[in-house]
Amino acid sequence: MPKFILKISSLEQQNYINIKDVDCFIFSTQLPENYLITQINKVKEIGKISLLEGDNAADFVVKFDADGIIIDLTQCSNIKKEINHYKKQIGSRFLGVICRNRRHEAMIVSENEPDFIIFRLGKDENNKTKELTSWYEEFFLLQMAIEIMDDDIDFLSYQTDIIILTPERFKILVAQKQRLE
């Protein structure tokens, strides 16, 4: 069973911190600083992981004492340079990298050893991403995550270590699971 990460991008999503089946939270740097500090401290108190994503995430990770960052390199032309830059900036904190759903880019990201790689999963890329994650899981030891971008995707059928969901999608998943039990 994969681990779940909840992606928090609005103030209305703050009541999800104590969910037992969630080990990690990604907070958008667009949220107010006071809110981020409060939520990161709450996550720390219960022994879970907090990651930041967005503008200035690498600066805020140190300032707010978060556990790491997520960087989006889908538009990047020099992946190695960017990963090395962020690794130097955040030190020993976690680094997750979003890359395009292409084998070559996945290999380049993996060669530069972030803590995990993220593929985005949308309706239009469902079959392509499923094939990519199966291939990746077979050849690489690096942890892999899929970030769910659309509804009505059977993401539990993917071979992945981590699934990134919004709190709303996670709530639907829990309700579906309870119905089956």
- Tell whether the torsion through CA atoms of 50, 51, 52 and 53 is positive or negative: negative
> Which pLDDT value is given to residue 180?
67
Share of the chain above pLDDT 90, in %: 67
Statement: residue 176 has pLDDT above 80 = no
> Which pLDDT value is given to residue 145?
94
Residue with more model confidence, 124 or 119? 119
Statement: residue 146 has pLDDT above 90 = yes
Cα–Cα distance for residue pair 153/155, rounded to 1 Å? 6
Total of domains in the chain:
1
CA nearest to 94, candidates 117, 74, 121, 73 = 117
Q: Which structural domain, as residue segments, surrounds residue 151?
A: 3-180
Residue with more model confidence, 30 or 150? 30
> Which pLDDT value is given to residue 181?
65
Mean pLDDT over all residues of the chain?
90
What single-letter DSSP state applies at residue 16?
Answer: G
Residue type, 102: R
Numbers of helices and strands, H then E, in the chain:
6, 8
Statement: residue 15 has pLDDT above 80 = no
Given pLDDT bands bounded at 50, 70 and 90, which one contains residue 17? confident
State whether residue 53 is helix, strand or coil. Answer: strand
CATH label of the domain that carries residue 22:
3.20.20.70
> Which pLDDT value is given to residue 174?
79
Cα–Cα distance for residue pair 108/119, rounded to 1 Å? 14
> Which pLDDT value is given to residue 40?
95
Give the least confident one: 55-64, 94-103, 121-130: 121-130
For 59-99, what is each residue's pLDDT tens digit?
Answer: 999 999 999 999 999 999 899 999 999 999 999 999 999 99
For 31-56, what is each residue's pLDDT tens digit?
Answer: 999 999 999 999 999 999 999 999 99
